[in-house]
Amino acid sequence: MSGGFVPSWLLAARPAMEDNEYFFAPPESIANGEAWIRDRDECRHLVRVLRKRPGDRIVFADGNGWVYEGIVRQADLSGIRIVLLTRRPGGSEPRTLITLVPAMLKGSRLDTVIEKTVELGIAELSPVWTARTVAVVKPEDREQKRIRWERIALSAMKQSLRTRLPRIAPATDFIETLRRVEEHDLSLIAHEGEDRDTPDTVIARSALPERVLVFTGPEGGFTPEEIIAARRHGVFPVSLGPRRLRADTASIVMVTQLMTALKELEPARKLALPDGDK
């Protein structure tokens, strides 16, 4: 963002903050050189905990890959109004878009999977019902649960200083989700019976993928019929190691091994600012 008159109160604002904490303002709340943060929890944290007030600088992400710095113009529990100073692309987003497809799990275990895999860098999470799924969620409660998972993903995005907010898709049937394989360059499924391939061996003999789909199973694992169906759709079964893992652990290990094979866990890349955003 450049050009235009800069008010004197902006010039006297406090020094720029370090990028050690991001806040969030959705794209629709950013326009005409201003942004609003209106989420109740976010406003409460900014006003009552961090004591933000007019004149403070603030750094926030829009969930679409951009980081903004601005000056707080208004700060109360009804909303935080920000005058924008700069915009730049986030430098910590993976180049490969990974969609994790975990089986529905009991209790809060899927909460943990969402939190940790979003921190690792997934682009989307699409839970599925499988033959051996034991978790029970009433149909009338499913949308509320998805909204809860969205908030967990948002918190994990901010914690890890990511700038893209992963999508949390509604839960679907495993066989139905196999139809999405053709949308991706590579698809993997965690399978205890696999004794040869791992995520890194499959990556090593493939062209570098832009979009990857990865399936992880429920507490009892996938059935032989589900593995056969996955193979028929072009999904590669992979081993996650010699030890049997809990279902929630398997999702985190799968994403970690895949990110490592794709070299997405190397030191942060510095991206050049586009023209006009310096």
Amino acid found at 184 = H
Residues 6+ apart with CB under 8 A from 150: 168
Q: Both 26 and 155 in a single domain?
A: no
Q: What is the pLDDT of residue 92?
A: 86
In-domain check, residue 14: yes
Q: Both 117 and 254 in a single domain?
A: yes
Q: Both 75 and 18 in a single domain?
A: yes
Helix (H) or strand (E) holding 225: helix 224-232
Task: Categorize the per-residue pLDDT at 269 as very low, low, confident or very high, splitting at 50, 70 and 90.
Answer: low
CATH of the domain at 82: 2.40.240.20
30, 63, 89 — which closes off a domain? 89
Q: Encode pLDDT of 122-151 as tens digits.
A: 999 999 999 999 988 888 888 999 999 999
Amino acid found at 113 = V
In-domain check, residue 275: no
Among residues 10, 8, 13, the alpha carbon closest in space to that of 56 is found at 13
- What DSSP character marks residue 178? G
Rg of the chain, C-alpha, whole Å: 21
Residues 6+ apart with CB under 8 A from 172: 126, 127, 128, 129
Rounded-to-integer distance, Cα 207 and Cα 12, Å: 52
pLDDT mean over 255-275: 76
pLDDT mean over 196-208: 94
Q: Both 52 and 101 in a single domain?
A: no
pLDDT mean over 63-68: 96
Q: What is the pLDDT of residue 137?
A: 86
In-domain check, residue 271: no
Per the structure, the count of domains in the chain is 2
Mean pLDDT of the chain: 90
Q: Both 204 and 256 in a single domain?
A: yes
In 33-143, the DSSP E strands lie at 34-37, 57-61, 66-76, 79-89, 97-102, 124-125, 128-129
On the question of pLDDT at 17 being above 80, the answer is: no
Q: How far is CA 37 from CA 19, 60, 71, in A?
A: 18, 9, 12
In-domain check, residue 272: no
On the question of pLDDT at 4 being above 80, the answer is: no
Q: Encode pLDDT of 83-133 as tens digits.
A: 999 999 988 899 999 999 999 999 899 999 999 999 999 999 999 999 999
Q: What is the pLDDT of residue 36?
A: 97
Q: How many CB atoms lie within 10 A of CB 159?
A: 13
Residues 6+ apart with CB under 8 A from 165: 24, 63, 64, 153, 154, 157
Q: Encode pLDDT of 192-201 as tens digits.
A: 999 999 999 9
Q: Both 142 and 110 in a single domain?
A: yes
Tokens of 86: 């700069």
Q: Both 175 and 57 in a single domain?
A: no
Q: What is the pLDDT of residue 272?
A: 41
On the question of pLDDT at 1 being above 60, the answer is: no
Task: Categorize the per-residue pLDDT at 7 as very low, low, confident or very high, splitting at 50, 70 and 90.
Answer: low
Q: Both 75 and 105 in a single domain?
A: no
Q: What is the pLDDT of residue 16?
A: 42
On the question of pLDDT at 235 being above 80, the answer is: yes
Global confidence as pTM: 0.86
Calculate ∠ Cα 153-210-184, nearest 5°: 85
Q: Encode pLDDT of 29-50 as tens digits.
A: 999 999 999 999 999 999 999 9
On the question of pLDDT at 274 being above 50, the answer is: no
Q: How far is CA 58 from CA 166, 265, 270, in A?
A: 23, 27, 21
